Every structure is written in structure tokens, then in C-alpha cells.
Amino acid sequence: MTTLFENDNYIVRVSHGDDRATKIVVSFTGIGAPERHDTTFFGQPLAMKLQIPWVGLIAKHDGWYRDGDYQQAFAVAASWIRERRRALGATGVEIIGYGVSMGAYAAIRYSRFFAFDYVFAMAPQWSLDREQVSHHSHFQALFQPFMKGMGIRADDVQGTINVFYDPYEKPDAEELRMIRENFPAQAIPVCRAGHSVTEHLKGTALFQQFIEHRAEPAILRRIASRARRIHNDHVTRVVMQGHHRHPLLTYRFLRGVERQKPDAIQHLFEHERNVLGSLGRLLVCAKGGADAARWIFTRLHGLHRSFCLLPYLMAWNGELLCFDSGVYRLSEGHTKPRGLPVILLEDSLFAMTPAGLVPVPGIVEGDGVRFSIRLGGQFLSSRPDGSTSLAAECRDWEKYCRYSPG
């Protein structure tokens, strides 16, 4: 990596890349870019791994590449592109613009200047000028007088413009609408990603797919959609929202993600143990859910051999009911009992001791799938900290279910 140019407003850094390359990428940093303070450029890991010749333009201020002497920085970058293209053999070498937010605006706005063949614009703006737009923008507070009339015109644009955006993020959807009112652009939705669409589209393999299918917007949409579905945030959101109503579907979704991106499953099991415990408990109650529950609890607590195939009682969070010195408690990590595990045989409760099963207090009421435990006119309720308390009423989530490990 080499720094070709630096002044008070801009930095131009380049990576030579492979001498057999057929693409050159020009990237533009976004708002508050960390590249201002180190020796990198936006997309440098991609440039290094893929060995693509790369020019990184770094704006030192949030001026949408319109403040200061940007023409001087652009001229340095354009000169390097011409020389590198000539060395690669000008025929067949494509130039691709790539930017995020403010940088995405620049990638589109200066696409004709740099003679881009394709642009990957991640959540761009069309304009922050209130005289040009009526919709709310994330960044209108950053508008400065030198940005007046900054809206991108058709004669600024060259090449195929691919705009990656979240259609549910209204300001970004409005920006795309303004872009398409002024010139053609391909819409690549990244649903529920918010403004930070690049966070859902990271990775060398993914970027390489974008490059390979740069001229095929339908395929780009499928690639982006698939990447979004297996992103950590989306996986967590699906489990949080869906496990109560559709436990088996949620389990199948997780197994599908596991095949495509095991790291996403590992992240989920590290950070959402209570939710997954609840899912496991619901799978125990679901018809045909025993194997699914076993997969959940194995991932949560590790493989273990059970010394008893009698039916335990499981609470809402996937922990097992235990009995200790006259008090009911919950297991820790599903496999570490706090006291003696409680067994349900027919309609009676027993504590499993080394000497055999010992009756414990409580009247069981249930429908064969979910059970409440009545103690002295009140109902047993399990708490998140592993303790239990008594409640006047028993809501559905407070009931217990049978779990027979195998």
C-alpha cells in the first residue's frame, strides 16, 4: 500500500494488485471514517486478499467530497488509474466505484469523471440540500453552504449504478427514489439492515460474488438477500420473534443457517442462551420436536450421557426442575442439578435420589403436555435466576413440560 497524495482534506492511497487483473476498484470512505486516522483505505482487506488494483480516496471531513481541493486528489487518483490500466492492457480492464453512505454518494456523483463501468453504492444520498429534497435525511444536520445544489444529475453519471439499501429504512428509500427520478439505477434491497448495509455484506467471498455478477442485478439481489438471512443480527431477530409461535420452523431455520454459516449459530448460542433454552423447552412440547430439542440442549450445554431415561420436568427457559431441602430450584446449564432432579410419573412428583425415587410435595395438573404444580393453594413459578416462587395464578409460560433425554 502506498500513499500517493495527502493534504488537509483528502488522502489518496493505492494498492498495486495482481499484474494479471482485469478490474480496478476506486473506493470512497464514509462519514467519520477510521481510515482518516490510520494507514488504510476503505476496502483494503478486500484489495489485499483478492489482489485487485485499488485506489482508496479518504475524505478527512464529512463534506461529501465537495469541500476543499478535491479536484487535485481526484486528478492524482485518475492519473494512477490511467497508468495502471495501461500496464494491465487497457482493453478489457473495467473500473468499479465502491462507497458507503457519503462515499456512495461520491462513487455515483463522480462516476463519469472516473469513467466507472460499474458502481456499488451502499446506502447513498442524492442530496442534503433542503431546496432539492423534502424528505427527512439522516445527515441534513451536516449540510454546509458549499454543498448547495449537490443533487446528482444524469450528466454526472456513467456506468451501471447498483444501489444497496434497506427498503424499510425510509430516509434511504427516499434517497433511492430521488436517484431513480434523475437517472437509472439498480435497486439491491438488504432488508432490515438499517443504514449500515455494509455490516450485513461483509466478506471477501461475498465481494468477489458481487464483482463476478456486477452486470446481473437479479443475481446481485439474490446474493445480498442470502447474505442478509445468515447475518448474526437477522438470525437473532428471527429466533427472538419466532420461537414462541413457531418453534419447529425456528429450529429448521437454524439448521439451514448452520449449513451456510456455522459462525452465526455459534454467535447465537454464545449470546442468547436463555432464548434458546426457551426454544428447547417449546420443542420438547411440540409434536415431533424431541430430536430438535436434543440438538438445542446439546449445543447449549455440550454432549452428555444421561443416567436416567425417566421424564424430567422442564421450565420455560429449558432448565430442569430440582428439589433441595424442601425447596424447588432449577438446574444450571441444563445438566448441573441444584438439588435432586424432579421426575414426573403418572400424576405424581418424585425426587431422584441414589437410593431411588422419593415423593416430593405438589399436586400436578395438566393436559398431558404442559403441567402446573400446585403447592398449598398456589402455583409454582420458575424465575430467571434459577429460584422458584409461588403465584396465585399459573400463566401458560409458567407451566412445565416433560423431557426424556436420550
Which ranges in 20-169 belong to alpha helices (H)?
44-50, 70-88, 102-109
User: What is the spatial distance between Cα 323 and Cα 313, in angstroms, rounded to a whole number?
Assistant: 11
Same domain, yes or no: 167 and 252: no
Same domain, yes or no: 60 and 155: yes
Residue 352: domain span: 312-403
| Rounded average pLDDT over 62-75 | 96
Dihedral angle over CA of 98, 77, 128, 156, nearest 10: -90
Same domain, yes or no: 218 and 237: no
Tell whether 306 is covered by a domain. no
Count structural domains, the chain: 3
User: What is the spatial distance between Cα 382 and Cα 332, in angstroms, rounded to a whole number?
Assistant: 13
What pLDDT digit, counting tens, does each position of 270-323 carry?
Answer: 999 889 988 987 887 677 787 788 788 788 866 444 444 578 999 998 899 999
pLDDT at 286: 77
| Rounded average pLDDT over 164-168 | 97
Closest by Cα among 18, 36, 190 to 120: 190
| Rounded average pLDDT over 262-272 | 92
User: What is the spatial distance between Cα 184 and Cα 311, in angstroms, rounded to a whole number?
Assistant: 64
Tell whether 197 is covered by a domain. yes
Same domain, yes or no: 7 and 26: yes
pLDDT at 304: 43
Same domain, yes or no: 60 and 136: yes
What pLDDT digit, counting tens, does each position of 212-239 carry?
Answer: 999 999 999 999 999 999 999 999 999 9
Q: Looking at 189, 209, 229, which one is the last position of a domain? A: 229
Same domain, yes or no: 62 and 186: yes
pLDDT at 308: 47
CATH number at residue 72: 3.40.50.1820
pLDDT at 302: 62
Dihedral angle over CA of 62, 57, 171, 176, nearest 10: 150
Tell whether 96 is covered by a domain. yes
Residues 6+ apart with CB under 8 A from 352: 308, 310, 340, 341, 342, 343
Query: Comparing 334 with 128, which gets the higher pLDDT?
Result: 128
